[in-house]
Structure 1
Amino acid sequence: MKELGKINSLLINRFTENGAYLALHDGGEVLLPKSYLSGNEEIGKEIEVFVYTDSEDRPVAVTTRPKAILDEFAVMEAKQVTKIGAFMDWGLPKDLFVPNSEIAGKMIEGESYFVRVCIDFKTNRLIGVNKYEDFLIRDTQGFEPGQQVEVLIFDSTELGYKGLIENNFEGLVYKNEVFKPLNVGDKIMAFIKKRREDGKLDLQLLPMGREKYEEGAEKILEVLKVRKFLPLHDKSSPESIKELLGMSKKHFKQSIGQLYKAKKIDIRNDGIHLN
């Protein structure tokens, strides 16, 4: 069934007490349960649905989009861990099953994990796969330093935060370059720092070069417009700067230097005043 695991626009064939039966491309039908009908549907009209199998392995359509569809990744919570595998919350009534053979390490109920939606061709069912590395593309020549990308944070290590780019590429934001809270499952905008020899990408949260300092200067200005004064200067500790502004001391000094040259601020012994 080519519709399995995908978002499809299907024609309504007929209505029954159980719901609406939608036409599949192979000539068959799939049930859209009554609970998903608004009452405005008509026979012969198309409706956008996601198709998967229910607890009895019957194909069923829903109007809810799961956290990930076929061949997509998402961070999902493990609702139940059993001897044969884990059942993940992907936003549908039936949880997504990850077999033990597809789990990279021990899973704990209530914790979140990085999972890809795949088809088990032996059973023709949708399953989750936690062993993600085989799906990633190592050729990252299409990315350039400074390029802005959307990133899904999927793991936290001692080195930094691993992120998925365009559903196919892996990047890393180093912890010593993070000055705001990051959590597994967050979707953020980041910038390519460099391409590594192993095909992975180093990322940074701020734009490269002079644009970075302009963004930091703008942030300081916004804070000063509200507070009029910041008890910070170039002798302040990195911890105080990070606590008040969420940036490194180097970034802070470069930013206030720009503002001072532009005569936007006055730097005194007690801190920074807005001109």
Structure 2
Amino acid sequence: MINIGKYNTLEVKREKEFGFYLGDEGKVDVLLPKSVAEGKSIQVGEKVEVFVYRDSKDRPIATFKKPLVTVGEVAYLKVVFQTEFGAFIDFGLDRDIFVPIKEQRFKLHTGSKYLFYVYLDKTGRIAATTDVENYILNAKDEEKEFKVGEEVIAQIYSKGQSGTIHVAIDSKYKGMILPNEYYIDFYPGTEMKLRVKRIYEDGIIGLTPRKTRLNERDQIQEDILKYLKKNGGFMPFNDKSNPDDIKATFNTSKNYFKMALGGLMKDGKIVQEKEGTRLK
């Protein structure tokens, strides 16, 4: 049996001017065009490992080229074209993968990358879906270890009603960002550098986009000074300001904002007034 969308080890059955016909013990033959044989010396009777997919006429075709993903896997792939019926994503070969409208859980944008699960549809064609939740792996089950404080790269694939953001670390392992860990909105497909904050008993990795306490304080102090200089040395914010106003302007919590203000006052760079804060 030849598996579409996966690697197959097949025997070279016969050679033609335009390519080689490969097969297994069954009756189905797959064409390996000489144009993609990559100059390899191929002999009738030998076995070769190839990736098999369908060409524009839905005929099975083989290649030595390495796709970005195979059927049954999740990958972070770019949308290259859209129609009223669905989108097409690049997976590294000369034919793109189709993502039907019904398999899009959110609006896709051409040129952007998202996490997709790749599967075979009812007709045996390679297709993809943004519904990846059931295919993201649990680090605990895979015996993959992460350490608190470790920095990782992850891609967002969904957002829960409670505001919890669900991500895949390295496009593979389950992670989440709780609502109190971020202060700006994120859209599915966003790739982020995150820090491991907690490892839950069920194996899911708790993450945060925030820096360590001291590093975040330094960043907020820098943002405050930039704001003051840009606005004539004054801002209508102090340690009594509304938390929502602070969050909207500086993308941080009131506690971190107060900590940053305290550091700047100690350094003699600012002075707080009833109406706000001024540069010294």
Q: Which TM-score band applies after superposition, normalised by the shorter structure?
A: 0.5 to 0.7
Distance in 2 (alpha carbons) for counterparts of 1:219 and 1:191: 21
Aligned length: 234
CA distance 1:198–1:57, shift in 2 (3 Å): farther
Corresponding residue of 1:153: 156
| Deviation of 1:246 (Å) | 1.5
2:244 pairs with 1:239 = yes
Distance in 2 (alpha carbons) for counterparts of 1:173 and 1:179: 11
2:274 pairs with 1:269 = yes
| Deviation of 1:151 (Å) | 1.4
**Partner letter of residue 243 of structure 1?**
A
Distance in 2 (alpha carbons) for counterparts of 1:256 and 1:21: 71
% identical equivalent positions: 23
TM-score by length of 1: 0.66
Corresponding residue of 1:95: 97
| Contact persistence 2:183–2:252 (CA under 8 A) | yes
Distance in 1 (alpha carbons) for counterparts of 2:177 and 2:126: 32
| Deviation of 1:174 (Å) | 1.5
Distance in 2 (alpha carbons) for counterparts of 1:209 and 1:203: 15
Corresponding residue of 1:136: 137
Distance in 1 (alpha carbons) for counterparts of 2:209 and 2:271: 28
Distance in 1 (alpha carbons) for counterparts of 2:273 and 2:171: 49
Deviations along 1:123-143, whole A, 9 cap, x unmatched?
6x6443645434503327621
| Deviation of 1:200 (Å) | 0.4
Q: Secondary structure at the match of 1:170?
A: strand
| Contact persistence 1:117–1:128 (CA under 8 A) | yes
2:196 pairs with 1:192 = yes
| Contact persistence 2:148–2:197 (CA under 8 A) | yes
| Contact persistence 1:216–1:255 (CA under 8 A) | yes
TM-score by length of 2: 0.65
CA distance 1:181–1:91, shift in 2 (3 Å): same
Distance in 1 (alpha carbons) for counterparts of 2:3 and 2:224: 53
Distance in 1 (alpha carbons) for counterparts of 2:126 and 2:104: 22
| Deviation of 1:197 (Å) | 0.7
2:211 pairs with 1:207 = yes
Q: Secondary structure at the match of 2:228?
A: helix
| Deviation of 1:201 (Å) | 1.1
Gaps of 5+ in 1: 7-15, 34-42, 99-105
Distance in 2 (alpha carbons) for counterparts of 1:132 and 1:218: 38
| Deviation of 1:217 (Å) | 1.9
Of 252, 257, 277, the match for 1:252 = 257
| Deviation of 1:162 (Å) | 0.5
| Deviation of 1:2 (Å) | 10
CA distance 1:76–1:268, shift in 2 (3 Å): same
CA distance 1:95–1:167, shift in 2 (3 Å): closer
Gaps of 5+ in 2: 8-16, 23-30, 41-50, 109-113
| Contact persistence 1:178–1:205 (CA under 8 A) | yes
Distance in 2 (alpha carbons) for counterparts of 1:258 and 1:143: 33
Q: Computing the radius of gyration over CA atoms, which structure comes out larger, 1 or 2?
A: 2
Distance in 2 (alpha carbons) for counterparts of 1:51 and 1:223: 57
Q: Secondary structure at the match of 2:277?
A: strand
| Deviation of 1:74 (Å) | 3.2
Corresponding residue of 1:57: 59
| Deviation of 1:216 (Å) | 2.1
| Contact persistence 1:75–1:154 (CA under 8 A) | no
**Partner letter of residue 270 of structure 1?**
E
